[in-house]
Amino acid sequence: MKGIQDYYPDHFAHCYGCGRLNEHGHQIKTFWEGEGTLTRFVPKEYHTAIPGFVYGGLLASLIDCHGTGSAALALAKAQGIELSETNAPRCVTASLQVKYLKPTPIGGEIVIKGKIKEVGARKVIVEAELFANGVLCVVGEVVSVLVPDNFGL
């Protein structure tokens, strides 16, 4: 099954967290699940913070790209865009907030669930909950903005 990231235009598909064309990156995939969004990821042993637990920077990165992916899904839905080939809207992160509630164990699948809190013409706010073995370990909020034509200039 394709994630929203499979529909990004090629020149927007190199992100370390979610770019399908970045062979060194995490290549996460984000989908609708009911009214919410879903991303799954299995950390490797080398993603260690304290032995046995996942590095927090990786968890922030997963929430970041889950947020931009969820934002793209929400914008596509709000704007009536039928996803095909590489026509997905592309967002960048304006703000990322992360709270680590519990250490996140390595050794299983991480599930990130997203809730679309606000959708505007360009800005989307997504709340994220990150679970390991069914236990809520991290929560976050991502403000994403549709990439402006003059991005980085």
Ligand X SMILES: CCCCCCCCCCCCCCCC(=O)SCCNC(=O)CCNC(=O)[C@H](O)C(C)(C)COP(=O)(O)OP(=O)(O)OC[C@H]1O[C@@H](n2cnc3c(N)ncnc32)[C@H](O)[C@@H]1OP(=O)(O)O
42, two tokens: 């299995």
From 2, 52, 79, 94, residue interacting with ligand X (rule: CB under 6 A): 94
From 40, 47, 115, 123, residue interacting with ligand X (rule: CB under 6 A): 123
What residues from 18 to 57 belong to the interface with ligand X (CB under 6 A)? none
Q: What is the DSSP string of 70-115?
A: HHHHHHHHHTTPPP-TT----EEEEEEEEEE-S--BSSS-EEEEEE
95 binds ligand X (CB under 6 A): yes
Given a contact cutoff of 8 angstroms between Cβ atoms, the answer to whether 42 and 108 are in contact is: yes
What residues from 71 to 90 belong to the interface with ligand X (CB under 6 A)? 90
148 binds ligand X (CB under 6 A): yes
132, two tokens: 């390991």
Per CB under 6 A, residues contacting ligand X are: 11-12, 15, 64-65, 68, 90, 92-95, 120, 122-123, 143, 145, 147-148, 151-152
